[in-house]
Every structure is written in structure tokens, then in C-alpha cells.
Amino acid sequence: MIRVGIVGATGYSGVELIRLLAGHSDVQVAHLYSSSSEGEALANVFPHLHAHPLPPLAKIDAEQMAADNDVIFLATPAGVSTELSPALLENGTKVIDLSGDFRLKNGEDYRSWYKRQPAEAPWLEKAVYGLSEWHAEEIAKADLIANPGCYPTAALLGLLPLAQSGWVNPKSWIVDAKSGVSGAGRGVSLGVHYSELNESIHAYKVGAHQHTPEIEQELSKQTGLQQLIQFTPHLVPMTRGILVTAYGTLESAVSPSQVQELYESVYADKPYVRVRAQGSHPRTKEVYGSNFCDIALHVDERTGRVIVLAVIDNVVKGAAGQAIQNMNLMFGLKETAGLSLVPLFP
């Protein structure tokens, strides 16, 4: 049994790791860690875990944590992982970081978009970007995974095949994304107040969201071309789910079926990417609670654009689910272990 430790179990990604790992037969949730609630039972924080067997919240001590676990998931706010990961790695445990701390290879990008001190360059180099479908081989050899952001997961799975095709102007990408509120985390603020969000939708951080450089970095790296992304996130009155509606200007005449075939070919053997019928309109509900990313392709011949629709559950494929998928790859387990959940519908 692989011994798993989770830091940040009192947040939404942490508690989703627990839900999913409960169905994973090769893994034991050995330890939970919290900076503030040492000794407490997690069921006191999350009553839905009443009677679920779990270790109590333990204090953070990198050396001990490394000794007690084969892999540590860091489901923590920005900055924590920069501090904690090096000590964990030096003491010989693997780390899967769900925060943004190790995603951007260029520390200055991190400083500029996150307004924080980046991790040191050698650690940034060491980190493998954990987009499971695209980097399985590197992930298998990695000790430190930078688990992708929720928006980038949907955007990259949706755009990478087209970006690689060369059919689309690399400066033309527009990613208009819509997210449920759970993406904002469990912290309290007016920004997550029920009465302010319900029956309302709004954009936020137009032109300024920290997931922008992450999407650009990966698209550019995979294509060898500098790709420019206009990224706009929106907050939708729902708890879970991300829909990305992405637009690219076609530079050559491409038929709808060519685009469809491209995606079906690229994702033919990927269990968690479902290329939906040409011209369909996937709903976030259709992947609810599951690790799927559903993608639909539209070519608008009138305007000369391709429109990509991609949906994920932000807490699963956009966070905890993909983290487990990466753990499976790192430990040579079946990629789908613990993740074979049919979406909850309705």
C-alpha cells in the first residue's frame, strides 16, 4: 500500500482527495496535515466525513512527513509549497503540488502574475507539469509534480491538438472560461457570499488572471511557437464545473471533420478525455464528480474560426482527480485506479 499524506485537508481539493482515494485500492491515506488544527478530527470540520476512518490532523514537520509517507499532496494556498516542497523532496518523499507554485518555469512570470516570491530556479526546473494526457512519460519519472490549474487543464486539453496542428493563428486564441464557485476555495469573503453570487454571473480579473501565463507556457512549449492567450474567467452560480469556450482564427481552410478526426486521433487512448460528437454542446453536469474532460469541436466556416468547448469538474480533473492520475503514473499503477467514477447525473 502506498502511504499518502495530504496537506490542506481542510480545503476543497484536500477533501476531494480523500473522497477519491477512499475508492483507490492501492493507496492508504496515512496522514493528514494542517497548520492550524493539530489533533483535531477532520470530521469536525467536514461532517459529511462522519464515521469515515481517517487519521487526525497532524502538525507540519517536513522530516517526519517524508519518513511517514511515500507521497505528499500539497493542497495549499500559493506560497506554502515553495517553502515546504524542497524539504520534503530532500528527505526523500515525492510531492504532488496542487498550487501554482511550481507551474511557471520562469520565476519572473510567477512574481509578475502571482505578486509573490517564486521558488528557486532549480526546483522550478525539476518540477514536471502534470497534465497527465500530455506528459505521462515525464510524470512517471518525476519526484515533484506541478499539478495544473483548473482553468489551464480544460483550456490545454481543449487547445493543444489544434495548436500543434498549425491550423490556427497562434496570436488569435481567446479563452472565455466559466467556473463554479468551489474554485474560489473555502475561505470566507464577500466574493463567495451566497446572496451576492446567486442569480448572477460576472467576469473577474479580465486580462490579469494568473492562469494566463500557465496556458501560454504550455501551448508555446508544445508547439515551439509563442502562443498568445486572451483569458477571461467568469464566476457562475453553481458549485462545481468549468466550461471553456475557446476561439481560434483558422489560417487555412480546415473542414469540421478534419478537426474532429484530429482530436479523436490525439485522444484515442486517453481514458479521461472524451471527444464528443462533432458540433455538440457538452454541459459541465455531464462530467460532474468525475475525472473526465469532454471536448466538442465547432468550425464556423462563415467566420473562419474554430470554437472549442471543453468541460471538466474543477475539483476532480481540475485538481484532486488529475493529482491522483499523476500519482498513478508516478507509481506505475493503472492510470484509472481510484478514478473510475461515472458522472453524477442529475
Instruction: Determine whether 293 is an active site residue.
Output: no
Is residue 176 within the footprint of a copy of itself (CB under 8 A)? yes
- Work out whether 288 is an interface residue with a copy of itself (CB under 8 A): yes
18, 98, 124, 150: the catalytic one is: 150
Smallest distance from a copy of itself to CB 41, Å: 12
Decide whether 149 or 248 has the Cβ nearer to a copy of itself.
248
Report in angstroms how near the CB of residue 203 gets to a copy of itself at its nearest.
5
Query: Distance from CA of residue 279 to its chain's centroid?
Result: 26
Considering only residues 237 to 266 of the shown chain, the ones binding a copy of itself according to CB under 8 A are 237-241, 243, 245, 247
Axis crossing angle, helix 150-165 with helix 256-266, rounded to the nearest 10: 120
- Other CB atoms within 10 Å distance of the CB of residue 48: 8
Residue tagged 460528437 (cell numbers) = 277
Q: What length does the chain have?
A: 346
Work out the angle at residue 120's Cα, subtended by the Cα atoms of residues 221 and 183, and round it to the nearest 5 degrees. 65
Q: Pattern of binders to a copy of itself over 146-165, x per CB under 8 A?
A: --------------------
How many residues in the shown chain lie near a copy of itself by CB under 8 A?
A: 83
Q: Which is nearer to a copy of itself, 126 or 270 (CB)?
A: 270
Decide: is 190 part of the binding site for a copy of itself (CB under 8 A): yes
Among 126, 164, 228, 335, binds a copy of itself (CB under 8 A): 228
8: left (phi over 0), alpha (psi -120 to 50) or beta: left
| Single-letter amino acid code for the residue at 135 | H
- If the CB atoms of residues 69 and 284 are measured against a copy of itself, the closer one turns out to be 284
DSSP 8-class letter at 336: T
345 binds a copy of itself (CB under 8 A): yes
Prior bond to 346 cis, omega within 30? yes
Q: Which is nearer to a copy of itself, 141 or 190 (CB)?
A: 190
Quick one: which of 111, 120, 138, 279 contacts a copy of itself (CB under 8 A)? Answer: 279
Span 295-324, contacts to a copy of itself by CB under 8 A = 298, 300, 302-303, 305, 307, 309, 311, 315
CA angle 112, 113, 117 (to 5 degrees): 60
Encoded one letter per residue, x for contact with a copy of itself by CB under 8 A and - for no contact, window 34-73 reads ------------xxxxxxx---------------------
What residues are labeled active site? 150
